[in-house]
Every structure is written in structure tokens, then in C-alpha cells.
A and B are shown apart, each in its own frame.
Chain A
Amino acid sequence: MSSVLDSKIPSGSIENKWKDNKFKMKLVNPANKRKHSVIVVGTGLAGASAAASLGELGYKVKAFCIHESPRRAHSVAAQGGINAAKNYQNDGDSIYRLFYDTIKGGDFRAREANVYRLAEASVSIIDQAVAQGVPLAREYGGLLSNRSFGGAQVSRTFYARGQTGQQLLYGAYQAMMRQVDLGSVELNTRREMLDLVVVDGKARGIIVRNLLTGEIESHSADVVVLASGGYSNVFYLSTNAMACAVTAAWRAHKRGSYFANPCYTQIHPTCIPVHGENQSKLTLMSESLRNDGRVWASKIKGDMRKPHEIPDSERDYYLERIYPSFGNLAPRDVASRQAKFRVDEGYGAQGQEAVYLDFRDSINRLGEDKISERYGNLFQMYGKITGENPYKSPMRIFPAPHYTMGGLWVDYNLMSTIPGLFVAGEANFSDHGANRLGASALMQGLADGYFVLPYTVGDYIANTQLKPVKDTDDAFKAGQDSVKNEIQKMLNIKGSRSVESIHKELGRIMWQDCGMSRNKAGLTDAIGKIANLRKTFWNDVKIPGVANEVNTEVEKAGRVADYLELGELMCRDALSREESCGGHFRDEYQVDGEAKRDDDKFCHVAAWEWSGSADKAQTRHVEELKFENIKLATRSYK
């Protein structure tokens, strides 16, 4: 263990750190900004907002996305809402309270200074979105409406029905397209980043595969911003979109960017249960449903009765019972774990891996119309997928992988351990600790892109000697060669196993041993199994077609190859963190089913350094976390 990580947290009081720091940052004058280029990988909330804002400032921006259009990025699927400390409801909210809730929600494993800045920025995000024409929900008086989300006792969540992510993404996408029209952002679609190019120790470009032609391209710049999302698809079945991958982040990791807290994954409590072997992904039912829906399981083990046949006296509204002060709005990690306990103990809905989310009482209280107005599209989606009518019978729900708090390590300025490589949104590790609160992902992605990177990227450029680099330089050629070789190597194997089948097998191992609960024996076993599966991949994978045209199997193979390396690191990280915190729950460390932290030994971030080979253990570095404003305490929602 070593401690080489400098978080660069500014001095001063928590309220003034960001303000003072912004003033101290060096500026780039407008004429010089035009001479500097920034690559942005990913066009979700973080990437699109960063590309738009940097373009507005005058930098030459090159934006890249894997999709045919930036509007397809998976931020589009976020349903419930975005938090902001506006206190429009006069219910006691403040920047400090959002900061407090987020630190506590993350089980004291996030950096105070980053989280405070996030809470500060939250207020401006809503202003910015409304100015862009994002149609957030309103009351009859014409003012913005709020609802509550888990882990908070105030109503601070802004929303657009169940499509908040879509609307915020279109706002950022449109802002970026405006810059494309003005010529300050160059948009490159259907490109997948497959390598980071480091010149003289600084990130200076990327190697991408053109997914239409298979061509391997080089792109150089002064700064590279990664906003490539999270890695829940390591579990195969997750609520993430099919193309969500760790690849861009992982390739940067292999070039020297440390990967922090990979074992911190969020298993979302309210997803539609698995239907069968051919299932390709899981669908989330927004946490906002827990505003009006009550979660319950039967009090009788192995109860095979239909839900409406079970009288109230035989229903266990377990979240309300165990957590009376937060009730159904307990945070995600807590709610997921309790659902798992019910199913493990034999109380699953009609013997299945599911519990109920019931709207009977709120429909009786408010009427079907009101519920439909609030959640109509979610009810419709549930109906389409399951063929059941949630207005008549309760939803069946079960936890599923949804979000990853871990990611590339970044300092306060969102710069990774490679100078010039910045990481934003879900791809970095910074703000959510060991558990993210609902409606905080949209907030973080947009805070990073709109309000942090435009300052810190400028400061880096102003303070750094950047020698001219061309995309024909040797470092780019070497990067291209290594990418081409790897693709050819995979194609040449011509084995018997499809990429999909290997991914499924990895997913089962991860869900079993590195999912909602983990223990030493299981993790040790999983590490061996994953290493073997990696061998199977490299000896027996089968990829039809050729490299120089559209080949979706080549795309998937590269992503699964990276997941096979990441999966092992997640298990090692989970194994070495001998405590439970947030979403990381070790069977060995608990008090009555609640996570038991070990602040003496583990009040730190673990950041892993690539060893040069997948078969050689990575080095674990630590960044100590200091809590100067919020007292370390056992997290309780009871």
C-alpha cells in the first residue's frame, strides 16, 4: 500500500473552497482558447454538457460517441429526477443539507469537498436546464414542482414525468448541436474509443474504431475528457443499455489511470424481475414510485397466493417496519438488501425472486388519474413488459445492477492520475462514495460538464507546457498497431464460444459472488473462475465476419474482454475491503443486516494501478478520507 494520490483539495472552509479555487485558477484568454483542442469521449449528460460548455468558451472541441446520434446516450433512460438544493418547497433544504444527505447516503466514503461543490452546482443546473427549454414538471401556478427521493426527508427532486434523463439530455444535446452548427464542436458519431495516447506523460489523444468502416483512426488534442459512463454491464443483466461499456475507461486505466473503488456498485431495489434465460437486460422502475408505492412481502414463508388474496394483516411492509422515519424512501442499498433478505428467507412473491410494490392505497387516496399523471409512462412500460396491469395488481420488483459508484480516480479538478486526462460523470469515482442517492446521477453528470470542467480544463491548459502533437506521430502509430493487433487476434481464434455466452457466464459469477452480498470464500472462488473464463475467451471465442466493416460481434468482443479484466479487479477490491459500507456488503461485517464500517482501517479510497498484464495483480493505492465538517457516524435510517 502506498499513498501517492494527491487529491488537490483546496484549503479554506468548505463553503469557500470552490469559490476561492475558481478565483485562483489561471485563465486562458479568448484568442488563445481557439488554439487549444479538447477531445470529449461520450455524449451523455456529462459529455454533452462539457462539449457544449467548452465549445461556448471557444475551445476547439471534438466530441465522440458510440451511437449513431449523441441523443441516444444512456443518460436518456434516467427516469425519476434530478436533485437540487433550491428549497422552493420551504421544507428546510439547503446546500448544506444536500451535502450532508449525500455524504451520509454514500456511507462516508466520498470526498467532502467534491460533494459540497456538487451541492452548490445543483442550484445552477436547474436554472440552466430551464433556460434551455427543458420542460420540467410544473404546478398550476406555473412554478416548478418537486418530489421526494430515497435518503432525503425534503422534496428536492425536479422531474419531467418519468423521463427526466431524456429531457435533460436533449437540453445538453441541443446545446452541443448549437456549437456544432457554430463550428466550435466537431461531432464524430459511431466511433468507439479503444486506446488513450499518452505523450511525454500527458494524455494527448485517442485511438477510435469507426464502427461503420472498421477503420482505426487517430485523434490528437491538448486535453482528453472521458465521459463514457459506468460498468454495470459487467453483470451481463443490468438496467444499463446494451452498448454501455467500461472499455474507454479501462483502456485509459491500462495506460496509467488508476481505477478507484471498483467494487462500489449500486443494485437498484425496484426493477422488473428476470423472466428467463434469453433475457438481454433488466428494466428499472423509477425510485420515484416509492413516493406513492408501498413495498411488502408476505408474512408467510412460501406463500403461493396471488397478492390480492393476501390480507393486510398477513403483509409485511418491511421498509416501513424496519425504517419508520424513512419508510419506503430508505436509500437504495438498504432497500435492495432488505428485498434480498426477504427472498433468501423464503418470503418471495409466489415463490419467485421478487417482492411487491403496491399502489392500492395511493390509488384509493388520490385516484387512478393522479397516479397516472405522476407515473403513467412507468405503469405503461411495466404493463408492456410483464403483460400485467399495475393499476389492478401490485408490481413485482427485485433489485438489479444499475449504477457504478467506482470509476477512474480523479482529483478535485476531475483530473485522473494521467495529466491532461479528465473524467466526468459516472465514469469517475468522485461524489457518491459507497452508495449513490436517487436523483444524484443526473446532478453529478451535469455539474461536472457544465460547471466544473469548463474551469479546471482551462486551468490545466493555462498552467501546462503543451508541445505540438500530430496524430501521425509515433505514439499514435503504436496505439493504432496495438488496437489492430488485438482485434485481429480475437478474430483469428475462431473457437466455439459466442461472445454473448461468455459474457453471460461472467455475469452469473459476478452476480453470485460480487453482487448484493459478498464474502471471502465466494470472492476468492470468483477470482479463479474469472481468470479461467478469460482463458476460455482468448482460446475459444468465436467472432464471425471481418474487421473492416460493420461487425457488432467485434464491438461486443472488445467490451467483454475488458469486463473479464475488470470483473477480477472488482472481486479483488471487494476482498481487500474488509468492512461493509453502502452497496458493498460483506457477510462477515454486519450488525443485524446493516452494514458495519471499519473507519479505523478503511476510511479511504482504494485506487488500483494496472500492472502491465491481466494476469499480474494490480497495486492498491489509498487516498485517506477526512471528515472535517460531517462527523463520522453509523448511518441510520431507522
Chain B
Amino acid sequence: MSSDKNNINLKLKVWRQKNSQTEGAFETLDAKNVSPDASFLEMLDAVNEDLIKKDKEPIVFDHDCREGICGSCGFMINGEAHGPQKGTTVCQLHMRHFNDGEELVLEPWRATAFPVIKDLMCDRSALDRIIRAGGYISVNTGNAQDANNIPIPKPDADEAFMSATCIGCGACVASCKNASAALFTSAKITHLALLPQGRVEQDQRALDMVAQMDAEGFGACTTTGACSAACPKEISLINIAKMNREYLRASVLKKEELSGGGDG
């Protein structure tokens, strides 16, 4: 398309880091003639095409669906996870929200539990290990009864759904001054604890997932709410309160189990 009079020029300060062993630094790059209809990642695509033309390595960032649902993308824009628009992943952030001549600082998620792999790409496999520790219902294929045998009140089902929409992008961790993964972990604990199918294992699940979260090196939650404010799926802070309750209950029950005589 011919250059449009609404197109803008930007100055980017991008974190470049060759790999996890080397130190990184900011590099200043120009993004020229950017269409306001382009997405943020499409803007970076064009910058990368320029870099390739000049025999330079393109900026590496994770991305895939570009529809805000896979959770692959995410980096800091001027200190904000996924940039300035509320409830939006960086792939769904469009350039019409920026002004001509703006300078944008792009950095990867920064957290001990998310080591930088290259440039804006980091390793978020810690989140998978938290799910692995108990973020599921133990039901083998073929075990299920008819789906309508257990009615679930609509408000519970809706609330469980809201928690289950977490895409695991890590913006919550990156926005938290303690690099806590409490919002991510609590969303899964809450989703499953709200459903009758998930209640069977709710105590053990809370204990195991929280233990794994701590083992991965995520920080503690001090309930500042920065996570929820940055979350592209607007996962509510109430999830963390529910997780704390689940965890406390499970801890108390666990102690009783250990000290109690039982009837055997």
C-alpha cells in the first residue's frame, strides 16, 4: 500500500541479548512509516525486515496466534506489560494508539523464574510446571459419566470460566514488584475448586500448586493488584483471595489429618 498520510514514525529502544549467558543492552532502532492499522507485532515485523536487509539479526520475540489467545507474546512497552491498552495482549495492540515521534522502550519480562532466552523472548516453562503439580482433575479418558448428570449453577460455571480464561502469558509476574505468580496459580486453583468435579482434589491441589510456585522462585504476593491491572484477560484479584483461603483450609486440614487419631 502506498504511504499513508496518517502513518507515523517511532523510535524504539529494544533490549537485545544474544542468549542467557551473555549480557544484554538496549539498541535504538527506527520504525518508519508505520500504518495506524498495523498491530504492534506487525510494526516489529517491518523493523525486522529492514534489519534482515541490512544483514543484521532480527529482534526475537515469542508470538503465534496474534489474536490474543495463545499467550505466546508479551514484553514491556515503556514499563507496562503488553503496553498501555487495558485488557490487551501486545499482538492485539494497534499502532493507532501511538503518536508520531514517540520513543518506546521494549524489554522482556523480568523475573528470576523467567530467564531471558534471547532479546524479548524468555523461558516461562515454570508456569507449565505449576500446572503439572496439580492443575488438573484426575480423570482418565473413558471415565466420564453423562455431561448433564451433575448440574452446575450458572453463576459458578461462569465464574469458573472467567478464571479459566487465563492465557498463561506471564504479564502478571512481569508487572509484580515481587515477581509473584499468584494470579496465574490462583486462577487455576479457583477455576477447578468452583466445579463439583474439581472439588474432590481441591486441598491437595492447592498445597501442591502453591509449593511448586514457591519452588520455581516466584516471589510472594503482597496484594498490590498490579498483576490484575496488567492482565490481558482481566483476571480478578479475587482469585488470589480464594487461593489463600483454599491453601489455608488445606493446610489446617492437613495438620488435623497428621495429628488426629482417626477411627482406624
Complex Cα distance A130/B150, Å?
A: 10
B48 CB to closest chain A CB, in angstroms? 8
Binding site of B, secondary structure by majority: helix, strand, loop or mixed? loop
Q: List B residues 42-91 near A (Cβ within 8 Å).
A: 42-43, 45-46, 49, 51-53, 55-58, 60, 62-72, 85, 87-88
Q: Which residues of chain B are near A130, meaning CB under 8 Å?
A: 144, 147, 150, 197
Are B148 and A144 interface neighbours, CB within 8 A? yes
Determine which of A131, A187, A385 lies in contact with B92 in the assembled complex, contact meaning CB atoms within 8 Å. A385
Task: Give a binary string over A59-85; 1 marks a CB under 8 Å from any B CB, 0 the rest.
Answer: 000000001111111101100000000
Residue in B38, B127, B148, B154 whose CB lies within 8 Å of A275: B38
Q: Which residues of A contact B49 (CB under 8 A)?
A: 498, 500-501
Interface contact A544-B58, CB-CB below 8 Å? yes
Q: Does chain A have a CB within 8 A of B259?
A: no
Say if the beta carbon of A141 comes within 8 Å of chain B: yes
Q: Which A residues are CB-close (under 8 A) to B38?
A: 275-276, 278-279
* A570–B97 alpha-carbon span in the complex (Å): 41
Complex-state Cα separation, A417 to B25, whole angstroms: 52
B64 A138 Cβ-Cβ under 8 A: no
Q: Please report the C-alpha to C-alpha distance between residue A137 and residue B63 in the assembled complex, in whole angstroms.
A: 29
Contact yes or no, A281 B19, CB < 8 A: no
Chain B residues with Cβ under 8 A from A553's Cβ? 52, 58
Question: What is the chain B residue whose CB lies nearest that of A50?
Answer: B141
Query: Per a CB cutoff under 8 Å, which of B96, B168, B198 touches A69?
Result: B168
A-B contacts counted at CB < 8 A amount to 225
Q: How far is the CA of A501 from the CA of B35 in the complex (A)?
A: 19
Question: Which residues of chain B from 137 to 177 have any CB-CB distance to chain A below 8 Å in the complex?
Answer: 137-148, 150-154, 157-158, 160-161, 164-165, 167-168
Choose among B141, B148, B192 the residue with the greatest number of A CB atoms under 10 Å from its CB. B141
B198 CB to nearest A CB, Å: 5
Q: Is B128 an interface residue (CB 8 A)?
A: yes
Shortest CB-to-CB span from B171 to chain A, Å, is 15
Residues on A with C-beta less than 8 A from B133 are 181
Complex: A144 Cα to B157 Cα, angstroms:
10
> Which B residues are CB-close (under 8 A) to A450?
141
Given contacts A144-B147, A381-B92, A550-B121, contact A77 B52 (CB under 8 A): no
Partner of B160, one of A135, A242, A284: A135
CA distance A209 to B132 in the complex (A): 25
B127 and A69 contacting across the interface, CB-CB below 8 Å: yes
Q: Bound state CA distance, A275 and B34, in angstroms?
A: 13
C-alpha spacing A384/B90, complex, angstroms: 11
Interface size on A, residues (CB 8 A): 81
How far, in whole Å, are A450 and B144 apart by their CA atoms in the complex?
12
A53 to B48, CA, bound (A): 42
Q: How far is the CB of A388 from chain B (nearest CB, A)?
A: 11
Docked complex Cα distance between A141 and B148 (Å): 11
Alpha-carbon distance between A584 and B124 when the two chains are bound, in angstroms: 42
Interface contact B136-A135, CB-CB below 8 Å = no
Mark out the residues of chain A between 124 and 180 whose CB falls within 8 Å of any chain B CB in the assembled complex.
Answer: 124, 126-133, 135-144, 160-161, 163, 166-167, 170, 173-175, 177-178, 180
- For the complex, is A20 an interface residue (Cβ under 8 Å from B)? no
Residue A243 is within 8 A (CB to CB) of chain B in the complex: yes
**Shortest distance from the beta carbon of B204 to any chain A beta carbon, whole Å:** 12
Q: Which chain A residues lie closer than 8 Å to B67 at the CB level?
A: 77, 283-284, 381
Cβ-defined contact, B128 with A177, below 8 A: yes
Closest to A211 in B: B117
Residues on A with C-beta less than 8 A from B63 are 242
B residues within 8 A CB of A344? none
Which residues of chain B are within 8 angstroms of A242 by Cβ–Cβ distance? 63-66
Contact A69 B125 (CB under 8 A): yes
Which residues from chain A sit less than 8 Å from chain B, CB to CB? 49, 52-53, 56, 67-74, 76-77, 86, 88, 124, 126-133, 135-144, 160-161, 163, 166-167, 170, 173-175, 177-178, 180-181, 187, 189, 212, 241-243, 275-281, 283-284, 380-381, 384-385, 387, 450-451, 454, 498, 500-501, 542, 544-545, 549-550, 552-553
B interface residues with partner A (beta carbon < 8 Å): 1, 18-19, 35, 37-39, 41-43, 45-46, 49, 51-53, 55-58, 60, 62-72, 85, 87-88, 92-94, 96, 117-118, 121, 123-125, 127-128, 131-148, 150-154, 157-158, 160-161, 164-165, 167-168, 191-192, 195, 197-198
What are 9 of the A-B contact pairs (CB < 8 Å)? A74-B64, A76-B65, A128-B141, A131-B137, A131-B144, A163-B69, A175-B141, A241-B70, A278-B35
Taking A167-B164, A283-B66 as given, write out 6 further A-B residue pairs in contact, using a Cβ cutoff of 8 Å, ordered by the A residue number: A69-B127, A130-B150, A136-B147, A138-B158, A174-B135, A498-B53
